[in-house]
Amino acid sequence: MSNPAPVLRFAPSPTGLLHVGNARTALYNALFVRRHGGTFILRYDDTDLARSTPEFAAAIAEDLEWLGIPPDRIEHQSKRTDRYDAAVEKLKAIGRLYPAYETEEELEAKRLSRRRRNLPPIYDRAALTLTEADRSRLEAEGRRPHWRFKLDGRHVVWDDLVRGRCDVDTAALSDPVLVREDGTYLYTLPSLVDDIDMSVTHVVRGEDHVTNTGVQIEITEALGATPPAYAHHNLLTLPSGEGLSKRLGHLSLRALRQGGEEALAVAALAVLIGTSLAVEPVADLDTLAGKLDFGKISRAPARFDPEELTALTAATLHHLPYEAVAPRLAALGVGGGETSWLAVRGNLTRLDDALRWWRVVEGPLAPVVALEDAEFLKLAADLLPAEPWDAEVYPRWIAALKPAAGRSGRALFHPLRLALTSEESGPELKALLPLIGRAKAEGRLRGKAG
Residue 247's pLDDT is 67
pLDDT at 215 exceeding the cut of 60: yes
pLDDT category at 2 given cuts 50, 70, 90 is low
Model pLDDT for residues 159-195, shown as the tens digit of each residue: 999 999 999 999 999 999 999 999 999 999 999 999 9
Residue 242's pLDDT is 86
Residue 248's pLDDT is 63
Q: Which CATH number fits domain 371-445: 1.20.140, 1.10.10, 1.10.3470, 1.10.287?
A: 1.10.10
pLDDT at 260 exceeding the cut of 60: yes
Q: Per the omega criterion (within 30 degrees of 0), is the bond before 54 cis?
A: no
pLDDT at 387 exceeding the cut of 50: yes
Residue 244's pLDDT is 81
pLDDT category at 321 given cuts 50, 70, 90 is very high
Residue 137's pLDDT is 96
Give yes or no for a contact between 200 and 181, defined as CB atoms under 8 angstroms apart. Answer: no
Domain 82-179 matching CATH 3.90.800.10: the answer reads: yes
3-class secondary structure per residue, 126-153: HHHHCCHHHHHHHHHCCCCCEEEECCCC
Domain 7-76+191-234 matching CATH 3.40.50.620: the answer reads: yes
pLDDT at 1 exceeding the cut of 60: no
Rounded to whole angstroms, the Cα distance separating 176 from 101 reads 14
Contacts with 372 (C-beta within 8 Å, 6 or more apart), sequence order? none
* Burial category of 309 from C-beta neighbours within 10 Å (exposed 0-12, middle 13-18, buried 19 and up): buried
Residue 60's pLDDT is 97
Model pLDDT for residues 74-122, shown as the tens digit of each residue: 999 999 999 999 999 999 999 999 999 999 999 999 999 999 999 899 9
Establish whether domains 7-76+191-234 and 253-319 are of one fold: no
Model pLDDT for residues 408-429, shown as the tens digit of each residue: 999 999 999 999 999 999 999 9
What average pLDDT does this structure show over 393-408? 97
Q: CA angle, 148 as apex, 144 and 149 as ends, to 5°?
A: 155
Statement: the pTM of the whole predicted model exceeds 0.85: yes
Backbone angles phi, psi at 80, to 5 degrees: -125, 25
Domain range list for the chain: 7-76+191-234, 82-179, 253-319, 322-362, 371-445
Query: CA-CA distances (angstroms) from residue 223 to 64, 67, 84, 180, 347?
Result: 32, 36, 11, 20, 58
- What is 253-319's CATH number? 1.10.1160.10
**pLDDT over 90 for what percent of the chain?**
94
Residue 239's pLDDT is 87
Residue 245's pLDDT is 76
pLDDT at 246 exceeding the cut of 80: no
Q: CA angle, 382 as apex, 376 and 384 as ends, to 5°?
A: 105
